[in-house]
C-alpha cells in the first residue's frame, strides 16, 4: 500500500494558494520556494490576480487548466473552508494547510476545523495540518516552510527524516541542523500540526518505507493513532533507527482506580515501555536529539558494548568511565597483543589500562599510537577520544589530522570530546566541518555511544545483525 | 469461552461492574490458568468440609460485592490451621458483615510463601488494552517496578518484559528463594493479555495480584476483573 505522504512528495504539479506579493509574508515565501526550487510545475493563486516572480497569479484554483497534484493553502483561517472547497472542486487530492487558528484556537477555530473535515470527506482530500510548517525535502525541491531563508536556514540533503507535531520545534531543529557540521542532514521533514487528517503514524509509515530515509527522528506530544504507531515502529526499527522525543512527560492519566494496574497506568509509564518495546530510542533533552543526528547520521553501529577510552586528562577519563557504566556499556579489556604493545611503547607513568591515560605529557603521536591500538583491537567495539588540549607538547593541528584519519575509517563508532577553551573550540569546529562527531563533554560523547549501542542491543535481541544497518557516507 | 461470557453476563445482569474474586478466578481457570484449589462455602459446615479436603492451612475470604477491598475490611484471614479456626472465622465473618450482601465465603488452600508478582491489564485511551507485569503484593503502587506491553503480547515480548524489571535478580534465585520459571511466567502473561484483548469490549481492568512464585510454581492467589 502506498503511504499517503508519497502522493505529496511525488507531485509533478503544485499550487500555492494564497501566494502573497508582500516580501517575507508566508504566502510569499512558499511561492518563492516552489517557483525557484520545485522541478515540477508551479501555479500561484491570489484572488487579486496579477503577477509574482514572473508568474501569473490565478484568481482561483478553478481558473487553472492543468491537473494539480498537491497544493499548499496559506490563507487566513476564515477563508480556508472556501479555499479547500475550491480545491475539492478542482480535484486536488493532496493539500497542506499551514495556517493556524483552528482546533488549537478555541471554539470558533474548532468549528472551522470541523467544517473543513466535512469538505475533506466530501471530496476525499488528504490534508496535512492545519497549523503546521508542512513539508520540506531539499532533494525534491519541496518546501512549504513559510519562514524566509534569511531567518530559517535550510539544511541540505542527508540521511535523516524528521516528523514533528510542533511547528516551532521543527523550525528550531531544522535551523539548528543547517549549521551542524556540513549541514547535509535532511531527507524529508514533516510538520503535521493539528493532524486533522494525516498524523504521526502516516508520517512514520511514509519515512519507514522511503529508501532515502536512513534514520527517523520524531517529536511528539501525543498520539492520534497510538496502537498503529507502535506496530509500525516495531516493524520499521528493524531496518532503520527511530529516535526522538515524546514530550508531555508529567504524570497524568493514572487514577486512583479500582485496580493497582489503573493506579500505575500513568500515560508516560505506558508510552515509555511501549516505545522501548517498539525499538524507538527515546531521548529526553534537545541536546540529545542533536547528538543522535551526529552519531546515527555518521557512525556505523557497534557490534557490542565494549568501549575503549583514550584521554590525556585523568578527571575526564574517570567521568567518561562513570558514564560508560551509567549507559550500560562496559570498559573493554584489551587483547594481550595490544596491551603488551602499549606497555612497551609508553613510559611507565602513562596508564595503559582502560582508560588509556597518556597524561599531560602527551604528544599528538602518543594519541595516534593509543587511538590506533584501541581502534584496531578486536576486543573493542567503540572508541572514545578525549582531549584536554591545554597541555604543552600537543600540536593541535596534528591531533586534528590524526582524529580525522581514524574517523574516516568508519569500521566502528568513534566519538571525540574536546574540553577546554579556545583551542578546544577550534579543534571541535574543524572536526565538525567534516561531520566527525565531537561533543562538548566526555559524558555527552559516551551517552551518544550508549544510544548507538542500545540500538545494537535491540537489533540483536530481535535477531537482526547490526551490520545490516549501515552508516551513510 | 462460553463460561467466560456466562460469568460476564451474570455480573452485568446483576448491575455490577466488578467480578468477585471467585468469579474472576473462574475466568482465569477457563483460559487454562492454574488456580489454588478453592470452594465457595455457603455455611460453616461447607467451609470445614472444604478445608478438610484441601488440607491445612487454608485462607478464608468473604465474597461480597459490597466489600471489594477485602484486606482493608479484614475480610481475608490467612493461615487457618484447624477446623475450629475455620468455624470460628466463618462465624466471625457472619457477625461482622451483617447487613452486607454476601455471596459466600471462599475457602482456599493456602499457598506457601514465595515471591509476589503482579500481572494486570488496563484500557488505555491511546493504545487500547495494555498489560503490565512486575513486582506485586500490597506495596506494588509504592515500588512501581512494572513494565507495560500492548495486548495481545507475544511470548517474546513477555520474556523481554520479565527481564526488564529492576528487581529481576529476585526472579533468578535470590538469597535462597527459588528461581521463578520465566517460561511459565511468560506463558501466563500471554494468556492474560489474550484474555484482555479478546474481551476488550467487556473488560476494563484486571489485577492478578499477588501471583505467588514458589518452588511449586506460579499461584495467582487474588484476582480482580472490572468491567466497562
A211 and A315 in a common domain: no
Q: Does residue A269 sit in the same domain as residue A398?
A: no
Confidence of residue A473 (pLDDT cuts 50, 70, 90): very low
Q: Are strands A438-439 and A414-418 parallel, antiparallel or unpaired?
A: parallel
Distance between CA atoms of A185 and A456, rounded to whole angstroms? 22
Alpha-carbon gap: B72 to the closest alpha carbon of chain A (Å): 13
Instruction: Tell me the nearest-neighbour CA distance from B35 into chain A, angstroms.
Output: 20
Task: State the total domains in chain A.
Answer: 2
Please compute Rg for chain A using Cα positions: 26
What average pLDDT is seen over chain A?
Answer: 95
Interface residue A223 vs chain B (CB under 8 A): yes
Asked, for residue A189, whether it belongs to a domain, the answer is yes
Residue A222 sits in the same domain as residue A307:
no
Q: Is residue A473 part of a domain?
A: no
Do A183 and A322 share a domain, yes or no? no
In chain A, positions 118-157, which contact chain B (CB-CB < 8 Å)?
none
**Nearest of A123, A43, A109 to residue A76 by alpha carbon:** A109
Collapse the DSSP code of B94 into the 3-class scheme (helix H, G, I; strand E, B; otherwise coil) and give the result.
helix
Cα of first residue to Cα of last residue in chain A, in angstroms, is: 30
- Contact: A260, B207; criterion CB under 8 Å: yes
3-class DSSP state for residue A330? Answer: strand
A151-208 per-position pLDDT tens digit: 999 999 999 999 999 999 999 999 999 999 999 999 999 999 999 999 999 999 999 9
pLDDT greater than 80 at residue B2: no
pLDDT band, very low/low/confident/very high, at A428 (cuts 50, 70, 90) = very high
Q: Is A312 within a domain?
A: yes
pLDDT in tens, A46-67: 999 999 999 999 999 999 999 9
Kind and range of the H or E element at A136? strand A134-137
**Structural domain harbouring A451:** 298-468
Q: What is the ipTM of this complex?
A: 0.92
Same domain, A243 and A101: yes
For residue A3, give every residue at least 6 positions away whose Cβ sits within 8 Å of its Cβ, in sequence order, or none.
A202, A205, A206, A208, A209
Among A223, A258, A270, whose Cβ lies nearest the Cβ of B68? A258
pLDDT bracket for residue A8 (50, 70, 90): very high
Please give the pLDDT value at position A156: 98
Asked if B126 lies within 8 A of A262 by C-beta distance, the reply is no
What pLDDT score was predicted for residue A106?
A: 85
According to the model, what pLDDT value does residue A255 have?
Answer: 62
Q: Which residues contact B55 (CB under 8 A, 6 or more apart)?
A: B109
pLDDT, tens digit, 9 for 90 and up, residues A208-249: 999 999 999 999 999 999 999 999 999 999 999 999 999 988
| CATH code, A91 | 3.40.50.261
Nearest-angstrom CA–CA distance, A473 and A156: 15
Are A217 and A284 in a shared domain? yes
In this structure, which CATH number among 3.40.50.1000, 3.30.470.20, 3.40.30.10, 3.40.50.970 belongs to the domain B115-227?
3.30.470.20
For the residues B158-174, what does the mean pLDDT come to?
93
Question: Is B132–A222 a contact, with Cβ atoms under 8 angstroms apart?
Answer: no
CATH 3.30.1490.20 fits B2-109, yes or no: yes
Return d(Cα B149, Cα B157) in angstroms, integer: 8
Chain A residue at shortest CA distance from B18: A258
Domain boundaries, chain B: 2-109, 115-227
Nearest residue of A to residue B139 by CA position? Answer: A260
| Inter-chain Cβ pairs, chain A and chain B, closer than 8 A | 85
Q: What percent of chain A has pLDDT over 90?
A: 90
Amino acid at each position: 500500500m502506498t503511504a499517503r505522504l508519497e502522493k505529496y512528495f511525488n507531485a509533478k504539479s503544485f499550487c500555492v494558494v494564497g501566494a502573497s506579493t508582500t516580501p517575507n509574508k508566508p504566502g510569499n515565501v512558499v511561492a518563492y520556494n516552489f517557483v525557484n526550487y520545485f522541478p515540477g510545475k508551479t501555479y500561484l493563486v491570489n484572488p487579486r490576480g496579477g503577477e509574482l516572480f514572473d508568474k501569473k497569479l490565478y484568481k482561483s484554483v478553478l481558473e487553472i487548466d492543468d491537473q494539480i497534484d498537491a497544493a499548499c493553502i496559506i490563507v487566513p483561517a476564515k477563508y480556508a473552508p472556501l479555499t479547500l472547497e475550491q480545491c475539492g472542486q478542482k480535484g486536488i487530492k493532496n493539500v497542506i494547510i499551514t495556517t493556524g487558528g483552528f482546533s488549537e484556537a478555541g471554539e470558533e477555530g474548532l468549528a472551522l476545523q470541523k467544517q473543513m473535515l466535512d469538505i475533506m470527506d466530501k471530496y476525499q482530500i488528504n490534508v496535512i495540518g492545519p497549523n503546521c510548517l508542512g513539508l520540506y525535502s531539499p532533494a525534491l525541491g519541496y518546501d512549504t516552510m513559510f519562514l524566509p531563508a534569511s531567518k530559517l536556514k535550510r539544511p541540505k540533503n542527508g540521511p535523516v527524516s524528521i516528523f514533528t507535531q510542533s511547528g516551532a520545534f521543527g523550525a528550531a531543529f531544522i535551523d539548528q541542523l543547517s549549521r551542524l557540521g556540513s549541514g547535509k542532514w535532511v531527507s524529508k521533514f514533516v510538520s503535521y500540526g493539528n493532524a486533522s487528517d494525516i498524523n504521526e503514524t502516516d508520517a512514520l509509515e511514509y519515512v519507514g518505507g522511503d529508501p532515502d530515509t536512513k534514520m527517523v527522528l520524531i517529536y511528539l506530544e501525543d498520539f492520534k493513532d497510538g496502537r498503529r504507531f507502535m506496530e509500525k515502529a516495531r516493524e520499521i526499527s528493524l531496518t532503520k533507527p527511530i529516535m526522538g522525543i515524546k514530550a508531555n512527560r508529567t504524570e497524568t492519566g493514572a487514577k486512583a482506580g479500582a485496580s493497582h494496574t489503573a493506579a500505575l497506568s500513568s500515560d508516560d509509564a505506558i508510552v515509555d515501555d511501549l516505545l522501548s518495546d517498539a525499538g524507538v530510542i527515546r531521548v529526553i533533552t534537545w541536546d540529545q536529539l542533536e547528538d543522535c543526528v551526529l552519531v546515527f547520521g555518521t557512525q556505523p553501529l557497534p557490534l557490542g558494548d565494549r568501549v575503549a577510552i583514550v584521554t590525556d586528562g585523568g578527571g575526564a577519563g574517570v567521568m567518561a568511565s562513570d558514564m560508560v557504566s551509567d549507559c550500560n556499556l562496559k570498559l573493554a579489556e584489551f587483547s594481550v597483543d595490544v596491551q603488551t604493545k602499549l606497555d612497551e611503547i609508553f613510559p611507565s607513568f602513562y596508564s595503559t589500562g582502560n582508560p588509556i591515560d597518556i597524561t599531560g605529557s602527551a604528544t599528538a603521536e602518543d594519541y595516534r599510537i593509543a587511538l590506533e591500538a584501541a581502534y584496531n583491537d578486536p576486543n573493542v567495539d567503540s572508541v572514545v577520544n578525549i582531549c584536554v588540549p591545554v597541555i604543552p607538547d600537543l600540536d593541535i593541528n596534528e591531533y586534528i589530522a590524526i582524529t580525522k584519519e581514524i574517523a574516516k575509517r568508519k569500521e566502528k563508532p568513534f566519538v571525540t570530546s574536546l574540553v577546554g577553551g579556545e583551542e578546544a573550540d577550534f579543534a571541535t569546529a574543524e572536526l565538525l566541518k567534516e561531520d566527525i562527531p565531537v561533543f562538548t563533554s566526555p559524558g555527552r560523547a559516551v551517552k551518544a555511544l550508549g544510544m548507538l549501542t542500545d540500538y545494537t542491543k535491540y537489533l540483536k535481541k530481535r535477531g537482526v545483525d547490526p551490520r545490516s544497518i549501515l552508516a551513510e557516507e | 469461552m462460553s463460561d467466560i461470557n456466562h460469568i460476564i453476563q451474570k455480573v452485568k445482569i446483576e448491575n455490577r461492574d466488578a467480578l468477585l474474586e471467585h468469579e474472576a478466578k473462574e475466568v482465569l481457570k477457563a483460559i487454562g490458568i492454574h488456580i489454588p484449589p478453592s470452594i465457595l462455602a455457603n455455611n460453616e459446615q461447607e467451609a470445614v468440609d472444604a478445608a478438610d479436603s484441601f488440607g491445612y492451612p487454608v485462607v478464608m475470604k468473604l465474597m461480597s460485592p459490597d466489600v471489594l477491598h477485602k484486606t482493608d475490611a479484614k475480610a481475608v484471614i490467612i493461615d487457618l490451621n484447624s477446623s475450629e479456626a475455620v468455624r470460628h472465622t466463618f462465624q466471625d465473618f457472619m457477625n461482622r458483615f451483617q447487613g452486607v450482601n454476601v455471596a459466600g465465603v471462599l475457602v482456599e488452600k493456602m499457598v506457601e510463601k514465595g515471591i509476589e508478582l503482579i500481572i494486570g491489564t488496563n484500557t488505555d485511551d491511546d493504545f487500547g488494552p495494555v498489560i503490565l507485569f512486575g513486582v506485586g503484593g500490597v506495596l506494588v503502587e509504592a515500588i512501581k517496578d512494572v513494565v507495560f506491553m500492548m495486548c495481545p503480547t507475544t511470548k517474546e515480548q513477555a520474556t523481554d518484559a520479565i527481564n526488564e524489571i529492576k528487581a529481576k535478580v529476585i526472579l533468578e534465585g535470590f538469597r535462597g528463594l527459588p528461581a521463578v520459571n520465566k517460561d511459565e511466567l511468560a506463558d501466563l502473561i500471554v494468556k492474560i493479555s489474550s484474555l484482555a484483548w479478546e474481551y476488550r469490549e467487556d473488560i476494563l481492568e484486571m489485577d492478578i495480584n499477588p501471583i505467588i512464585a514458589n518452588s511449586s510454581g506460579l499461584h495467582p492467589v487474588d484476582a480482580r476483573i472490572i468491567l466497562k
